[in-house]
């Protein structure tokens, strides 16, 4: 089953930030696509399997960004 996780982030200010967030989240097993946008402060993640919101939040936080809850 495929599902989508969308999060609002703080701290992304440029395209490099987008790349860093997308890469960090994209390393999770089960993530099909992760797309971050610094202009909107959003990350959109397409997942399969058991990847959950908490997994994505942990990766974003480890990459140095804040998740607006």
- What is the three-state SS of the chain? CEEEEEEEEECCCCHHHHHHHHHHHHCCCCEEEEEEECCCCEEEEEEECCCCHHHHHHHHHHCCCEEEC
Q: Is pLDDT at 46 greater than 80 in this prediction?
A: yes
In this prediction, residue 26 carries a pLDDT of 97
C-alpha to C-alpha distance for 17 and 3, rounded to whole angstroms: 24
What is the CATH classification number for the domain harbouring 45? Answer: 3.30.70.100
Provide the residue range defining the domain that includes 45. Answer: 2-68
Domain count, the chain: 1
- pLDDT tens digits for range 7-40: 999 999 999 999 999 999 999 999 999 999 999 9
In this prediction, residue 52 carries a pLDDT of 95
Q: Is pLDDT at 61 greater than 90 in this prediction?
A: yes
pTM for the full predicted model: 0.92
In this prediction, residue 1 carries a pLDDT of 84
């Amino acid at each position: 089953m495929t599902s989508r996780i969308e999060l609002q982030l703080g701290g992304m200010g440029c395209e490099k930030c987008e790349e860093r967030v997308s890469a960090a989240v994209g390393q999770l097993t089960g993530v099909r696509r992760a797309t971050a946008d610094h202009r909107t402060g959003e990350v959109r993640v397409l997942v399969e399997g058991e990847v959950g919101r908490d997994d994505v939040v942990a990766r974003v936080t480890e990459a140095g960004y804040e998740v607006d809850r």
